[in-house]
Amino acid sequence: MISTTILEQLHQVETPLYYYNLPLLRATISTAKKAADQWGYHIHYAVKANNNPRILQEISALGLGADCVSGLEIERAIAQGFQADSIVFAGVGKTEEEIRLALNRGILAFNVESLEELQIINEIAKMMNVQASVALRINPNIDANTHHYITTGLDENKFGIMMHELEDCLALICAGESALILVGLHFHIGSQITDWSVFKRLCLKVNEWNTWFIERGIVVPILNVGGGVGINYQNPDGEPMVNFSDFFALFHRFLEPKREQQVHFELGRSLVANCGSLISRVLYIKKGITKNFAILDAGMTELLRPALYQAYHKIQCIAPAETKGDAKEIYDVVGPICESSDCFGKKVSLPVLVRGDLIAIRSAGAYGEVMSSRYNLRKPLQFYFEE
């Protein structure tokens, strides 16, 4: 929840604004790290979820590695304190420039997504006279039971190396003149996964693949099982963090690494989502024929998730309680952008709103700021960090 002192300050500031609760962020990261440490697991923070420099500083200071998907993410992660050799670099479309940068920086591993990419990394590494550490991303063909836009582990998705390319990948890595070192296997099946039986299935699949490699005489040092653990968007105050102890204990129970194998995770949303809220002001109340609209000064340009994935975010009026009675009204809460999908929530019950009221759209710390755009030539975002 947002404290009263902070609320008073928020009333002075320009909106729309991203509010970040840094004490909650630190508590979340520390709790996750402690739970992972218990089993000797490693966490790479998925920078794509939130690359705000201040957020990255906090996370790197607590000793996590990073999971990056572009050259600029790698540069920013290093600039904000992440160790280069703790960085994994994923993505189906790495450019030559990005590959060179990653090799120059000495990252932990490329998470390689196709045979052709592996060939190019090999060529570039040879030209640079360095070795490239690679993890092969394997598509485990598991349905993550989540929104289809954020499911990645099915055969129909573009992610991961296809089964029929795997033997060729191994041949390339093992060839005498290869500049490639196989350091891991990588899996990631999707995001916002709340049905944890999916992770059990993932563990069993990873065990099968690990055995497949071991049978070929290869014990990879790292099993990277990706991220994807879902958060509670309905009740961010009741459950501000995922139960990380249970999450890692599930992997400890079902995943069977060899003694010398490390287990790595790439967590994004679960580390940052509930630490952020988008704060907005009510511009106008429009009484329609069948419904009322609350028109905000924030829109899909500041938080795209509802428009893109029909994602639910809790919407709260944070006007001081004394100014609001008990009366409620039902609103469609919309933004100012010229798109019908620019809607944060339909039929939302809120105290009777007036122009100027402050609204918090909760759990916006992940895939919020990073997916914002300047469509309609919107103003740059404002920030408020609670220390």
Interface residues with ligand LLP (CB under 6 A)? Answer: 46, 49, 67, 90, 150, 152, 188, 191-192, 226-229, 266-270, 305, 309, 367
Q: Given the complex with ligand LLP, which of 21 and 151 has the nearer CB atom?
A: 151
Distances from the Cα of 341 to the Cαs of 17, 96, 172, 310, 346, in angstroms? Answer: 21, 37, 47, 9, 11
CB of 186 to ligand LLP, least distance (A): 7
Contacts of residue 174, Cβ cutoff 8 Å, sequence gap at least 6: none
Q: Given the complex with ligand LLP, which of 4 and 310 has the nearer CB atom?
A: 310
- Rounded Cα distance between 237 and 146, Å, is 23
Q: How far apart are the first and last CA of the chain?
A: 14
CB of 330 to ligand LLP, least distance (A): 26
CB of 49 to ligand LLP, least distance (A): 5
CB of 147 to ligand LLP, least distance (A): 7
Q: Report helix, strand or coil for 19.
A: strand
CB of 108 to ligand LLP, least distance (A): 14
CB of 106 to ligand LLP, least distance (A): 21
Phi-psi region of 63 (alpha: psi -120 to 50; beta: other; left: phi over 0): left
- Rounded Cα distance between 196 and 194, Å, is 6
360: closest CA among 272, 299, 281? Answer: 281
Q: Given the complex with ligand LLP, which of 266 and 297 has the nearer CB atom?
A: 266
Q: Establish whether the linkage from the previous residue to 16 is cis, with ω within 30° of 0.
A: yes
Other CB atoms within 10 Å distance of the CB of residue 40: 10
CB of 85 to ligand LLP, least distance (A): 19
- Rounded Cα distance between 144 and 59, Å, is 27
Q: Given the complex with ligand LLP, which of 150 and 169 has the nearer CB atom?
A: 150
In this structure, are strands 328-334 and 292-296 parallel, antiparallel, or unpaired?
Answer: parallel
